[in-house]
């Protein structure tokens, strides 16, 4: 990328390389079929083709490229989780984001401006100390800051001194940031397609054929496709998709909403989040205020947004930054999130041979796009689950070896 900048920086004939080649006709068989052309499916295809020499890959999507949660999320990237296993995994994710524009030769606009989570109670502060200790032990950037520290990092914040929601301190994570979500998906797609991976949009998987305990094929609205190996990366539809192969995942689906305001000049230079208010904010590169919070309180397969949630998010945002009351909302939207009981993903083997799971990404999977893609590609190419993924196995629920990340996930994603 640096060389290209030098070579083409002042010229008008920069060759367009971001295009995705036209999709060829669907073949009757592939070595690998990936269900879901979201960030995860596309990243896996990229790593399979670039690092493992596996090119006979089809990525199938019932809709369009990155039309699921990949382009609906609020782009928080961070590694300040609670469990050592979670931190190790997401830390690798952040490292891969740092090099992603280079890796994909595509500017994903990774902006590492840090994340600040507010504590409004002594109990929250105590939990921050625990997270900071664990995080430091695992080698990530993380520290607890006092009120002065919060004010220095976020001078526009309403500290609410003496009020019901006084900010007592914060958890500062300088490694946190954002990236442009559709650029991530398109970057992976373009790289994979250039190496022979076929991306078939409007191709819905309606059944998965299993015989003798092994996956045989997927059935689509465009016909049957035999497959040596199949990976499920269907976002909010992961539970339903796994069930097609007879695998019941411990997943329940809830809508998650977010909204953006009209753009304003840059003023919020970090990602901020309040656990007690269930509200987080980030200013996009266009200047919009992106505002999100917790999931809807009921299970539903719907991407409709609600007035209730709009009011709740607006209330939280205006409490933290009262001057935001002057901004107009531009858009509000929702995605269907596949939530696990411990707020950690399910990755690796399934009970069906040759069927791989990249599921349970709930409200937190965008940040994991590169590391999940890279490590799932390793699973498919070698037939072995790398150590870093082993704690996320489906069978952890049988062993009661849960990885509880609820406290680090609920309001920050």
Q: Please give the residue ranges that form the binding site for ligand FAD (CB under 6 A).
A: 35-41, 60-63, 67-70, 72-76, 204-205, 233-237, 241, 256-258, 292, 335, 337, 361, 363-367, 413
Residue with smaller CB distance to ligand FAD, 34 or 142: 34
- The neighbouring-strand residues paired with 215 are 210
Q: Identify the burial level of 32 via C-beta atoms within 10 angstroms of its C-beta, where 0-12 means exposed, 13-18 middle and 19 or more buried.
A: buried
Residue with smaller CB distance to ligand FAD, 148 or 334: 334
Q: How far is CA 82 from CA 132, 167, 172, in A?
A: 9, 22, 14
Residue with smaller CB distance to ligand FAD, 114 or 236: 236
In angstroms, give the least distance from the CB of 411 to ligand FAD: 11
Residue with smaller CB distance to ligand FAD, 42 or 54: 42
Straight-line distance from the first to the last Cα atom of the chain, in angstroms, rounded to the nearest whole number: 30
Residue with smaller CB distance to ligand FAD, 53 or 110: 110
131: left (phi over 0), alpha (psi -120 to 50) or beta: alpha
Helix intervals (H) in 52-198: 84-98, 100-104, 122-137, 147-153, 181-194
The answer to whether the CB of 36 falls within 8 A of the CB of 201 is: no
Residue with smaller CB distance to ligand FAD, 14 or 301: 301
The span from the CA of 247 to the CA of 206, in Å, is 15
How many C-beta atoms lie closer than 10 Å to residue 179's C-beta? Answer: 23
In angstroms, give the least distance from the CB of 160 to ligand FAD: 25
The span from the CA of 199 to the CA of 143, in Å, is 43
The answer to whether the CB of 277 falls within 8 A of the CB of 319 is: yes
In angstroms, give the least distance from the CB of 90 to ligand FAD: 9
Strands (E), 134-222: 143-145, 169-173, 198-200, 205-211, 214-220
In angstroms, give the least distance from the CB of 309 to ligand FAD: 10
SS3 217: strand
What phi and psi values does residue 125 have, to the nearest 5 degrees? -60, -40
Residue with smaller CB distance to ligand FAD, 128 or 366: 366
Name 406's Cβ contacts closer than 8 Å, sequence gap at least 6. Answer: 342, 343
In angstroms, give the least distance from the CB of 55 to ligand FAD: 21
Closest residue by Cα to residue 354 from 189, 192, 226: 226
Residue with smaller CB distance to ligand FAD, 237 or 268: 237
In angstroms, give the least distance from the CB of 74 to ligand FAD: 4
In angstroms, give the least distance from the CB of 301 to ligand FAD: 11
In angstroms, give the least distance from the CB of 144 to ligand FAD: 22
Residue with smaller CB distance to ligand FAD, 149 or 250: 250
In angstroms, give the least distance from the CB of 45 to ligand FAD: 11
């Amino acid at each position: 990328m640096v060389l290209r900048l030098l070579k083409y920086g002042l010229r008008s004939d920069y060759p367009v390389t971001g295009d995705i080649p036209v999709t060829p006709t669907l073949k009757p068989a592939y070595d690998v079929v990936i269900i879901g052309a979201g960030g995860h499916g596309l990243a896996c295809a990229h790593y399979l083709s670039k690092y493992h020499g596996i090119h006979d890959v089809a990525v199938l999507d019932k809709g369009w490229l990155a039309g699921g949660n990949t382009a609906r999320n609020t782009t928080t990237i961070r590694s300040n989780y609670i469990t050592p296993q979670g931190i190790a995994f997401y830390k690798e994710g952040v490292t891969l984001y740092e090099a992603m524009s280079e890796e994909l030769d595509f500017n994903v606009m990774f902006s590492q401006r840090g994340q600040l989570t507010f504590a409004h109670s002594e109990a929250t502060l105590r939990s921050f100390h625990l997270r900071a200790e664990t995080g430091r032990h695992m080698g990530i950037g993380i520290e607890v800051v006092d009120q002065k520290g919060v004010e220095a990092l976020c001078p526009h914040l309403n500290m609410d001194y003496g009020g019901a929601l006084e900010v007592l301190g914060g958890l500062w994570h300088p490694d946190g940031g954002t990236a442009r979500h559709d650029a991530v998906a398109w970057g992976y797609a373009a790289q994979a397609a250039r190496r022979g991976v076929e991306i078939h949009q409007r191709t819905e998987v309606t059944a998965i054929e299993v015989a003798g305990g092994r996956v045989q094929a997927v059935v689509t609205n465009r016909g049957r496709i035999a497959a040596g190996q199949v990976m499920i990366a269907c976002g909010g539809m992961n539970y339903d998709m796994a069930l097609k192969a007879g695998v019941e995942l411990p997943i329940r689906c809830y809508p998650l909403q977010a909204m953006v305001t009209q753009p304003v000049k840059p003023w919020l230079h970090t990602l901020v989040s309040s656990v007690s208010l269930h509200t987080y904010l980030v200013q996009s590169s266009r200047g919009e205020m992106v505002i999100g919070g917790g999931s809807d309180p009921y299970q539903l397969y719907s991407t409709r947004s609600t007035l209730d949630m709009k009011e709740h998010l607006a209330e939280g945002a205006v409490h933290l930054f009262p001057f935001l009351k002057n901004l107009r909302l531009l858009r509000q939207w929702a995605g269907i999130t596949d939530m696990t009981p411990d707020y950690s993903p399910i990755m690796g083997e399934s009970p069906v041979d040759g069927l791989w799971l990249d599921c349970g990404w709930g409200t937190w999977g965008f940040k994991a796009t590169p590391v999940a893609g890279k490590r799932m590609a390793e699973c498919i190419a070698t037939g072995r689950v790398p150590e870093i993924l082993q704690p996320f196995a489906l069978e952890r629920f049988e062993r009661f070896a849960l990885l509880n990340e609820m406290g680090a996930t609920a309001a920050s994603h």
